[in-house]
Structure 1
């Protein structure tokens, strides 16, 4: 029998119970991304999910367990999609790999802006939750993207600089527009999540990086 991130048995769960759990996890992701771990309450999350607060205790033993389940939900989705793209790009040249990964990061950030909002909320904290998140999810993405950046530097596609600087610059370039989408819309009147704007942003990032 497997155990989910909340510590509850997941095998044998009824479809209704699984749907309830998924609604709670998505509501938790939205709440933690907006208010942070300290600002989000289980009562608030239950209301967002349209569920009884007692069901949070049933599915997740603690608020931190619920937070971990929410983090897992978005990052496992991201890692699965990234792995699929890396298989497709395995035989591509470095410039093509970098170009298509930048487009992928933009598209993912637009589709799931709560991921980077969560990271901004949690990235400020020097605590065990941040260590867990980095060890479990961020290091893997850094390893994949970092190796492509290193190859791009070696081939002269990117100027020489520490990989960590490129990592954060490019992640920010790909995602910030969507992370602060309301600000952009108030500023310009444009909706960053409009498909045409997402495509234009992806092309702008590619043009900036790969002149």
Structure 2
């Protein structure tokens, strides 16, 4: 009797677990595919195939491709922002309270860990759409706030794009570093050198930054 009484709960837990797994697989596939080829280049069928789930489950769990895209963007940006904030605390301690150096180091390391965030921006930035506005208003603005808070400077469009562009572009387009300079941009050695080069550039100008 006890076994029979527990059976419905056991089935319910199993169903919940399957649903959670399905949502996770679809989100992981969405982050990878949307960041790689963009919203318009991905079909619902391709997302379900990549996730390894049955047809129809995307709409069942998310309602639409657009709703899944928004959740994927939110997840990618949250992961990146969380990593950067945690890294900033560590770097600030390592660098004796130097906020500029800690911000640059944290942003570069976070971007290398989560380049999908940058790819989302690049994929949607040049096309006028609700998706572009969603990223700008919900996420880019918050990252600009984070830079302002970490640097102790007023929120500035110039600071944001100067820092973000210099620090991140190599992770959005790593092929150039690999083919032209024969460097692996996601290696520890490259990331360390990149951090120190950007710190020197922003603190002292071109004369102090590495040219190699």
Matched, 1:176 2:169: yes
3-state secondary structure, aligned to 2:35: helix
Cα deviations by residue, 1:18-64 (Å, 9 ceiling, x for unpaired): 22212211211111112111112122222222222322112110111
Q: Determine if contact 2:80/2:117 at 8 Å carries over to the other structure.
A: no
2:25 maps to: 23
CA distance in 2, matches of 1:113, 1:163: 23
Matched, 1:188 2:181: yes
3-state secondary structure, aligned to 2:79: helix
Displacement of 1:122 in angstroms is 1.0
172-181 vs 132-141, which deviates more? 132-141
How do 1:50-199 and structure 2 match up within 5 A? 50-84=52-86, 96-149=98-151, 151=153, 163-199=156-192
Q: Which has the higher contact order (CA 8 A, sep 6+)?
A: 1
CA distance in 1, matches of 2:122, 2:78: 18
3-state secondary structure, aligned to 1:53: coil
Distance verdict in 2 for CA 1:95–1:82, change over 3 Å = same
TM-score (norm 1): 0.78
Displacement of 1:16 in angstroms is 3.3
Displacement of 1:15 in angstroms is 2.9
TM-score (norm 2): 0.78
2:4 maps to: none
For this pair of structures, how many residues does the alignment match? 191
Q: Give the aligned CA root-mean-square deviation in angstroms.
A: 2.8
Residue segments in structure 2 that go unaligned for 5+ positions in a row: 1-12, 205-212
Q: Determine if contact 1:149/1:163 at 8 Å carries over to the other structure.
A: no
Please say which structure displays the higher CA radius of gyration. 2
Residue segments in structure 1 that go unaligned for 5+ positions in a row: 1-11, 154-161
CA distance in 2, matches of 1:163, 1:150: 11
